[in-house]
């Protein structure tokens, strides 16, 4: 009698199988973080593999290393009133959530991971992960980790959000460990959450996730500063202010390399491109580069927003940086940037203190060459995150009983 091909494949399964889940469909941070984690956890072990479950519409534009793959979940879009709709399928949000939950459950059952790493949302999007977490717990063959950025939001706001979602209860019930991708001396992202002492003992601060050059990529021959709003979806104001500065001061230098990000597009992008063209080469622009690490490494300085991944790149490539953090819908970026400035790691352009004026941006760009580098403030000691993740991940997978 023919054997079940799925059963045969599972019988030959690699020693370690890792699955990473992130519900987000906006921005690049979650996807780039998941890719870095998957790469580290499978490196140096030809018997290991990883699958990333992601709602990102640009996942297919990234190169994934050998033995790392991704499954694209149906996308959702958040409306101005805070509600969600399906991005492309025309389904209502309940039907879309049910479809996503079914795909997640099926992927887990077929792949049989040894380790599941969930990105910052203990219950998943609208609770879509709960049935899978219950199934995994009943099976007892997979260790489950909740991965948290260094900063989530203001404590009061975060506590109310997690209470509404039942996230504290789920975190305490289903997760074997909690990994904070930062250091406690900078910030405790769980401040304000009513975790039990037993839960807090399962928490590990890994340090920030170091980034390295992985691919050769062309960079400008002349000195440049890098301008990056991350994914770009909420970066138009910051980019516009940088262009204001170059337009207002013809002597401002060095030249700027602007990477819009994949979510800054349409008429807004067209208007910005027209302004770039009028600057006659003093600013050059590109829409999206998945290998932005090389542009970071070779820049004279960086003007950026304050997302987690961008901050990791600033530290990793020891870049003088001016961070222009967003303050809505969350204070996450402002909290990170203000704390980093206190420690001498970066300079922040703060609307409440400095004003988002053309003069403030001109002064910030001019001051970049004499600004201290993160390494001068001890940044190198903050970047052990991937080493700790690999150590903790392998310890969990090797001790599942």
Work out the mean pLDDT of the chain and round it to a whole number.
Answer: 91
Which of the four CATH numbers 3.40.50.2000, 3.30.590.10, 2.40.50.140, 3.40.50.1980 does domain 5-209+384-398 have? 3.40.50.2000
- DSSP secondary structure, 84-144, as one string: EEESSS---HHHHHHHHHHHHHHHHHHH--SEEEEES-TT-GGGTTHHHHHHHHHH---EE
Averaged pLDDT for residues 66-88 = 84
- Note whether 5-209+384-398 and 224-381 share their fold: yes
68's tokens: 């790392």
183's tokens: 């250091």
| Comparison of pLDDT for 25 and 56, the residue scoring more | 56
Range with the poorest average pLDDT among 61-65, 70-74, 373-377 = 61-65
Task: Give the DSSP letter of residue 369.
Answer: G
Asked whether residue 12 carries a pLDDT value surpassing 60, the answer given is no
Asked whether residue 31 carries a pLDDT value surpassing 90, the answer given is no
pLDDT tens sequence across 175-216: 999 999 999 989 999 999 999 999 999 999 999 999 987 665
Please state, in angstroms and rounded to a whole number, the distance separating the CA atoms of residues 397 and 401. 9
Which of the four CATH numbers 3.30.420.40, 3.40.50.300, 3.40.50.2000, 3.30.310.80 does domain 224-381 have? 3.40.50.2000
129's tokens: 């992960």
Rg of the Cα atoms in the chain: 22
Residue 318 backbone dihedrals phi, psi, to 5 degrees = 50, 50
pLDDT tens sequence across 190-201: 999 999 999 999
Residue tagged 């030249």 (tokens): 255
Max Cα distance, the chain (Å): 79
| Comparison of pLDDT for 215 and 384, the residue scoring more | 384
Domain boundaries defined on the chain? 5-209+384-398, 224-381
């Amino acid at each position: 009698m023919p054997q079940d091909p799925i059963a045969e494949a599972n019988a030959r399964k690699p020693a370690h199988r890792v699955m990473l889940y992130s519900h987000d469909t906006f921005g690049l941070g979650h996807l780039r973080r998941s890719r870095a984690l998957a790469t580290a956890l499978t490196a140096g072990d030809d018997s290991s593999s990883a699958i990333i479950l992601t709602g990102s519409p640009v996942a297919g534009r990234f190169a994934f290393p050998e033995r790392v793959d991704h499954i694209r979940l149906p996308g959702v879009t958040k409306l101005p009133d805070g509600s969600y709709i399906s991005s492309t399928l025309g389904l209502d949000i309940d039907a879309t959530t049910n479809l996503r939950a079914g795909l997640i459950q099926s992927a887990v059952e077929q792949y049989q991971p040894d380790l599941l790493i969930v990105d910052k949302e203990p219950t998943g999007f609208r609770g879509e992960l709960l049935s899978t977490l219950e199934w995994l717990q009943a099976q007892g063959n997979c260790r489950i980790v909740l991965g948290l950025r260094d900063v989530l939001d203001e404590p009061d706001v975060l506590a109310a959000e997690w209470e509404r979602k039942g996230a504290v209860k789920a975190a305490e019930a289903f997760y074997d460990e909690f990994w904070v991708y930062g250091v406690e001396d900078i910030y405790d992202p769980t401040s304000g959450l009513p975790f039990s002492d037993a839960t807090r003992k399962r928490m590990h601060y890994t340090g920030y996730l170091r980034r390295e050059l992985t691919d050769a990529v062309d960079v400008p021959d002349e000195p440049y500063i890098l301008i990056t709003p991350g994914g770009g979806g909420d970066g138009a104001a910051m980019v516009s202010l940088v262009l204001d500065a170059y337009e207002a001061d013809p002597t401002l230098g060095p030249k700027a390399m602007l990477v819009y990000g994949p979510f800054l597009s349409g008429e807004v992008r067209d208007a910005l491109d027209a302004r770039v063209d009028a600057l006659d080469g003093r600013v050059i622009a590109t829409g999206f580069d998945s290998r932005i690490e090389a542009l970071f490494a070779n820049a004279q300085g960086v003007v950026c927003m304050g997302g987690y991944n961008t901050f990791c790149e600033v530290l990793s490539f020891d870049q003088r940086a001016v961070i222009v953090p967003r303050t809505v819908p969350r204070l996450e970026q402002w909290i990170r940037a203000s704390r980093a400035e206190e420690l001498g790691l970066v300079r922040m352009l703060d609307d409440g203190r400095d004003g988002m004026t053309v003069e403030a941006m001109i002064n910030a760009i001019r001051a970049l060459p004499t600004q201290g580098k993160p390494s001068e403030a001890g940044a190198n000691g903050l970047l052990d995150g991937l080493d700790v993740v690999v150590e903790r991940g392998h310890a969990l997978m090797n001790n599942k009983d």
